[in-house]
Chain A
């Protein structure tokens, strides 16, 4: 494999990682701070994509559609918090899994009723269309670079919010010990509502940003949810920095693993065996990574303080 390809694949890995971070950031906050297992996070991502498609059709502008989709997701998160999640705080994890799984079924069927089962799509705005030349004659899509930029920007803003503001301090305190925080006079219920709405907004934003790249269909949240859970477990539940690190690791492992393994195995095994073993191993890689990390750091890479 050429150096150029290796560099492009590294960039691809980082880009996938950043997209995963956008999705996982909301999930880790909800799981870490509220101790609620939110399986419906994947459909919040899916709804974000559908909302972006709908707003783009209504306004004719991608640049309006994305913030509108994020705002609508925030609202939706707040409504869901009122109706469902408020009752799930402190409940058994199994109850949470059942309730949020129910939300998945409702949302997927609801979307199908409104928009039909056929996949939808969102066009890339002209400003971000096309490709730029990179190393070794390989080209890179401008939109991908924009996603990378947007993801890093969100990560930076979140870091500022969490490390430098009073709300962020409470959030960190909630992730470490919610009971103590409540005893100190902080309205934990309101904090939870904020966290949930913000988490839904992040998922919706990720869905809107991903919409031009992926297939917008009712089932699009499923595979992404699994990856997001890998990321938050790997990073340490409740830790946004941990999620960022873990998301980049998962993105790089998946992308580089898929291309490097084929090349490595082709040298070591007969071609037929390499063809079977390569893809099988590649799809296991991120889980192997997770198992290896958890064996040495059961709390994840950068666990929230007081939870490791």
Chain B
């Protein structure tokens, strides 16, 4: 009783009404910060922190508090930590994760726990269609779109014979399916290698023997670094165009360096895009972290910009869920990629580009825009999402 009285008194003294609006907005950041995937998680965290710093630590006029958590790339660990973020830390938003298998594990604990989940990278088709949720937004893309962009480019460029190379697991097969959804030429081989591959020499010999017009590959992280270096060393890079997804980007370029120059990728953005928002982002990131930002950092940056834009519309309040959803959906913010809006399923409608690895005058490596492949492109799953 006395405690309650005291608390009441304190609240009265501090002025409970206005003080509530100044309570910090709590934002969980649940990304992979250990193991080989840590590079990507760090980029997202950096992007989120940079966007918050640019706003003097405030979103929608309220101070923001970040709770950064490592998911260890383990779905069970991630689910438990997501629960803790929502139940004990009482966060209003969770920004995460990096990988789709983790997304599957944290999706329900977060969205059903009363928080809004904003994915800065993972965009599995599962949550784009029938299972879409008003509490889920994606600042990246639907996963298969990137592969389809490369398939579309190969088709438009008139390549007739393609050699496909991917790791032997679900994401590798999805990548090949995504490429084939747009490329109608002859597939010389679908070469699936173990995820533990360290030496691609046998596969490169097959490629040299098959003499394809074009190579499509999806080799994330260290696999990609090894493949790119060995592809370059084999001398094939001079003769065969190399289209790749998540193989040549700012997370792997520091290790691939000159071996990656001229190799192609696909993305919704590149650091050399010429607009004011992007210049602010890239120069701010370079100054703060002394490294080139990749799409992961850009998408983390946008996730925080999205929260800021939405809370500006609700005057900082997260209380009315319906209003919050509408505010997030229509949030105003200047994405470094330029045009950006959400579809009914919470996934973006945006432009997709062919990009190419290049060396900057300052000696750093980056991807650069080559040409636009799709304009205002929405994923094909949105049609089956019941949200309006």
Contact = CB atoms under 8 A, between A and B. Distances in A.
The answer to whether A and B assemble together is: yes
Interface in A173-228: 210, 212-220, 222-224, 226
Given A139-B235, A213-B233, A16 B35 contact: no
A112 interface: yes
29 contacts: A5-B205, A8-B205, A8-B209, A12-B201, A109-B34, A117-B38, A118-B254, A119-B225, A130-B235, A131-B233, A136-B209, A139-B235, A213-B229, A213-B233, A214-B222, A214-B226, A214-B229, A215-B221, A216-B255, A219-B35, A219-B222, A255-B202, A258-B193, A258-B202, A258-B203, A275-B190, A275-B192, A280-B168, A282-B194
Contact of A217 (B192, B222, B256): B222
B258 to A, nearest CB: 8
B36 interface: yes
B74 to A, nearest CB: 14
Given A12-B202, A119-B252, A223-B196, A283 B168 contact: yes
State the majority secondary structure of interface residues on B.
helix
A141 to B, nearest CB: 4
Nearest to A138: B208
A276 to B, nearest CB: 9
B251 interface: yes
A120 interface: yes
A275 B42 CA distance: 36
Given A214-B222, A223-B198, 18 more contacts: A12-B199, A13-B202, A15-B201, A16-B199, A19-B199, A109-B34, A112-B38, A119-B225, A119-B255, A120-B255, A123-B257, A215-B222, A215-B224, A215-B229, A223-B197, A262-B189, A275-B192, A282-B194
A109 B34 CA distance: 8
Contacts of B224: 215
A128 to B, nearest CB: 10
Contacts of A216: 255
A219 B36 contact: yes
Nearest to A258: B202
Interface string B183-217: 00000011111101111011101101100000000
A117 B193 contact: no
Contacts of A19: 199
B223 interface: yes
A59 interface: no
A143 interface: yes
Interface residues of B, number: 41
A217 B202 CA distance: 22
B197 to A, nearest CB: 8
B194 to A, nearest CB: 4
Given A117-B42, A215-B255, A262-B189, A16 B201 contact: yes
State the majority secondary structure of interface residues on A.
helix
A261 to B, nearest CB: 11
Contacts of A258: 193, 202-203
A214 B198 contact: yes
Nearest to B256: A121
Contacts of A41: none
Contacts of A212: 229
Interface in B285-338: none
B387 interface: no
B36 A217 contact: yes
B242 to A, nearest CB: 16
Contacts of B189: 262
Given A119-B255, A120-B255, A9 B39 contact: no
Nearest to B199: A16
B198 A218 contact: no
Given A215-B255, A283-B168, A121 B225 contact: yes
A238 B196 CA distance: 26
A131 B222 CA distance: 24
Closest 10 CB pairs of A and B: A215-B225, A223-B196, A215-B222, A117-B38, A119-B255, A279-B192, A131-B235, A121-B255, A5-B209, A12-B201
B131 interface: no
A280 B39 CA distance: 29
B234 interface: yes
A12 B254 CA distance: 27
B209 A220 contact: no
A117 B226 contact: no
Interface in A129-170: 129-131, 136, 138-139, 141, 143-144
Contact of A138 (B196, B209, B226): B209
B124 interface: no
Contacts of A138: 205, 208-209
Contacts of A220: 198, 222
